[in-house]
Amino acid sequence: MFKYIFTLVLFAFLSVSTAFSQHEAEHISTENEAHPALGEITHQEESFDIGGMIMHHIADEHGWEFSHGVKLPLPVILYTADRGIEIFSSSRLDHEQVYNGYKNEHEHILRVDAEGKVDESIHPMDFSITKNVATLMLAAILLIVIFISVSKGYVNNKGKAPKGIQSFMEPLIVYLRDEVVKPSIGKNYGKYFPYLLTLFFFIFINNLLGLLPGGANLTGNIAITLVLAVITFLITNLSANKYYWKHILLPDTPKWMWAIMIPVEIVGVLMKPLSLMIRLFANITAGHIIMLSLFGLIFIFKSWYVAPAIGIFALFMSAIELLVAFLQAFIFMLLTSMYIGSAIEEHHADHH
């Protein structure tokens, strides 16, 4: 609720700043008419595009830009029927350059002819290592390293008190197992716990990586959240027992209501993964947009007394984002556990 209220307040500030900018633009335009030379200088200055800045930072890209002018080139991997597989550095396509007949337009790599026009007859298949893919690989490496270290800790400290990273991870893992997964799934929780644990730490680590300077908005990418939701959907419904499907396809209601209840139940089955997908995507993306909007206000107002106030708000929002990074991973895991638990729940007596 605080985030939504804060977003409304932020947009109110943006509206005021936009009106102020329009007033300044009208004032400058009037002066330009009186002083043509001044107008030529003013038009040479580029206005700050806060919308473009925000979309640039939350979207995926073929290079990994940590700050303005500091960019890590990533491999571009393309396949076309006439040329086969082609691999080259993303730096070849920076600043709208054309390389080997390819051009990067808004992170879509297109084939162009000798005159620089897009060749609509050829559609390259893009398998590039983008910023999101590189972050995905980094998170996978971190997960492997962390859990191998924890596993070795259990072997080396058998019968002893946990040490190092094991002492940090063990209480969290035990809490998730005993307080979340067991009550939600029941006695057969062990079959699903490895997936649920991987799901939690994958989301949590990527949420934290996204808060670092230059970090990618991986869990704020709807393609990533879609895949996670589809995996949950498949595990839930492929594990479901006959009582689960009976409740959906033959609900315990008068038969004349089946025409209403069965479509409602089927929609409910589809809405569960949809809610997982949208919740994670929307919350993480909203957090990035709020933080970037706060920093953008400094360049909109162009005043020294705005920066300290924005810094305080940004620090406060960063603390909230750390909490959200944990909560969104926890909620995704909790709801997945509940969905699986409801699908494999045994039949109870009527009085129960």
Residue 321 within a domain:
yes
* 240 lies in the same domain as 255: yes
Q: How many Cβ atoms sit within 10 Å of the Cβ of residue 134?
A: 18
Residue 58 within a domain:
no
Residues 183, 278: Cα–Cα separation, whole Å:
25
* 147 lies in the same domain as 222: yes
* 101 lies in the same domain as 225: no
**In this predicted structure, what is the pLDDT of residue 300?**
84
Residue 56 within a domain:
no
**For residues 116-128, average pLDDT:** 87
Per-residue model confidence as pLDDT tens digits over 294-351? 888 888 888 778 888 888 888 898 899 999 999 999 999 999 999 999 999 876 544 4
Contact 330, 196 (CB under 8 A): no
Per-residue model confidence as pLDDT tens digits over 222-252? 999 999 999 999 999 999 888 888 888 888 8
Full domain range(s) for residue 39: 2-47
* 7 lies in the same domain as 80: no
**For residues 62-85, average pLDDT:** 88
**In this predicted structure, what is the pLDDT of residue 125?**
93
Q: Report H helices in the chain.
A: 2-34, 36-44, 50-58, 131-156, 165-175, 182-185, 193-211, 222-239, 242-249, 258-301, 306-344
* 256 lies in the same domain as 150: yes
* 38 lies in the same domain as 151: no
**Could you give the number of structural domains in the chain?**
3
Residue 172 within a domain:
yes
**In this predicted structure, what is the pLDDT of residue 347?**
65
